[in-house]
Amino acid sequence: MKFIKILLSKHYAPRWLILQIDLLFCAFSVILAFLIRSNFDFYDNNLREALPFSMGAFLLLRGISFYVFKTYHGVVRYTSTEDAKRIFMALTTGSAIIVVFNIISSFTGGNAYVPFSFVVIEYFATALMMTSFRIFVKIIYSEIKSSEIEKKNVLIFGAGESGLITKRTIDHDKDSDRKVVGFLDDDLSKRGKFLEGVKIYHLEHNFEELVSKYKLDEVVISVQELSRKRKEEIVDFCLKHKINVKAIPPATHWINGELSSQQISDVKIEHLLEREPIRLDQEQIRSQISDKRVLVTGACGSIGSELVRQIIRFYPREIILLDQAETPLYELELELREQSNYVNFRTVLADVYNKSKLEHIMSSYTPDIIYHAAAYKHVPLMEENPSEGVMTNVAGTKNLADLAVAYGVKEFVFISTDKAVNPTNVMGATKRVAEIYVQSLNAQIQNQNSNGTKFITTRFGNVLGSNGSVIPRFRKQLTAGGPITVTHPEICRYFMTIPEACQLILEAGMMGKGGEIFVFDMGEPVKIVDLAKKMIVLSGLRPGKDIQIIYTGLRPGEKIKEELLNSKEKTLPTHHEKIMIGKVREYPFPLVAKEISELIAMIGNKPDKSLVAKIKTIVPEFLSNNSVYEELDKLTIHPGIELNQEQE
């Protein structure tokens, strides 16, 4: 038929055609209602006499209601619940008018023009035909559209609510190149059952059979609360069978509360390194931060910016964002204004080495809490520019710590690194010097005034996806077609997600009494070459064939394995299983202040080697590795800051 061809063509059907079809359904419903009323007696005289008038009245009334509610405006092939609502309103309004007319007629002594049973039959018949027609066209169009696309056979892991949503999302997206052929689930009681006509299988019991039966292309992980270990097992299982693995994002990231098929994306390496969610003492952290003025230095960095996002959830009175990077600071300001609707903040462009500027900031805002995340962190750069490392990591920390005491800051949380433990590079050594300073300063204050500033240090390893870290670098190299460069085949690193690291910083800051160095449970170290290989495989490529891995050699100052404590340090447990207190060597503040002041005075006045030699006198365990400064370790130098007899 011509109108079906029009409806299924690439062009949209004209509105007048849809209106005519709807009125045709209405006319057929009127005839059907009369036939049912007369027990299908085609020769009933009452039927013949009443039909013309009733037909005209109904068509006129339906035509007006269809026009008012625009039932014919929707695109039939994309019929939605909104179209169904329009049909319902139009038919209900028209039928209600007839019912009212009948009631008025009966009260005025006249006869009802249309029997109520007739109205009901016509109403439901018209509604059924109009909606069925639209659904029929939508299904036919979808089938034709789908047949033009070559489909990938897909299994969905998770036969629960999230899996069902994923299936419906794939099914409803007619431009999708996926076809759901089954569900996978760990629950053996679901095995063999059906969900919306699709069979449920068990991964370990049925997977190999399904691979050969359906020539599987893809597995989509839909389970929201899946342990890291189980996720890794599923990914490894699929990759072993050369099946691509996808995942859906958390429900909080869905667009307007609905999952989009475009959001079904590759499993990222970060997903496989994530750990179980951290349980925080939300109320204690809230009581610490709520209605307080908080200063975050390095606010635009990976850690600093995430700290800001988490801190604002606890409603501080004001948060001061300090950084020396202009553009990132501006972008963070826009994010806070547009995405979080948080307005109680100030952006300050400043360098922590500039003490006079810092003093102006402290006097202007008088913060209650400081989270000091500003630092230079890249090992090779600091190895080549030790004076910059001392300026920011040592002098900057000293400036801020001294001003925190002077302006009565209640708490100072210093964010350090695992590279400060037995440092082999300038960056780690400067962070260790800063640790020594704030810890000894805390001891000095506590001896003089128990109500003084509390200095707390947090120490952890690499964070996933931070600026300049290994995973973003590998991802860029993959995008460029390789090769992926790894410094050493045995190099290992601890990893933690940025949100997890910041949560632990807030928790440690809340529980700290002053002087502690909190060490975070970083889990098991990960071999970087294994990380690279898995990233290649997750991209659908083959290590050594599609993408080469090249070993470039350790960079100056780089360790093969990082440590969170040195051999002389021990840990004490806290109420949080992922946070320990490192028992580190303490130093007398007068000697520390003298040595560090001498170090800072050397900036710009002494060559780099003299500067590094001085750092080695403060941190005697600092032994350079693969660096030009290794020759300093062969010299007889100052053995380090000596302890007072009563402190040993």
Tell me which residues are annotated as active site: 419
Which alpha helices (DSSP H) does 369-482 contain, by range? 379-384, 386-389, 397-406, 426-448, 470-479
Cross-strand pairs, 458:
415, 518
* Sheet with strand 198-201: strands edge to edge: 194-195, 198-201, 178-184, 152-157, 218-221, 244-247, 265-266
DSSP state of 65: H
Q: 92-118 in b/e burial notation, b at 16+ Cβ within 10 A?
A: eebbeebbeebeeeeeeeeebebeeeb
Cross-strand pairs, 630:
none
Residue 327: Cβ-neighbour burial (10 angstroms; 0-12, 13-18, 19+)? exposed
Q: Give the largest Cα separation in the chain, rounded.
A: 124
Tell me the backbone φ, ψ of residue 178, rounded to 5 degrees. Answer: -110, 150
Beta strands, E only, 191-317: 194-195, 198-201, 218-221, 244-247, 265-266, 293-297
Tell me the backbone φ, ψ of residue 523, rounded to 5 degrees. Answer: 75, -155
Nearest one of 331, 351, 333, 339 to 313, comparing CA atoms = 339
Tell me the backbone φ, ψ of residue 581, rounded to 5 degrees. Answer: -100, 120
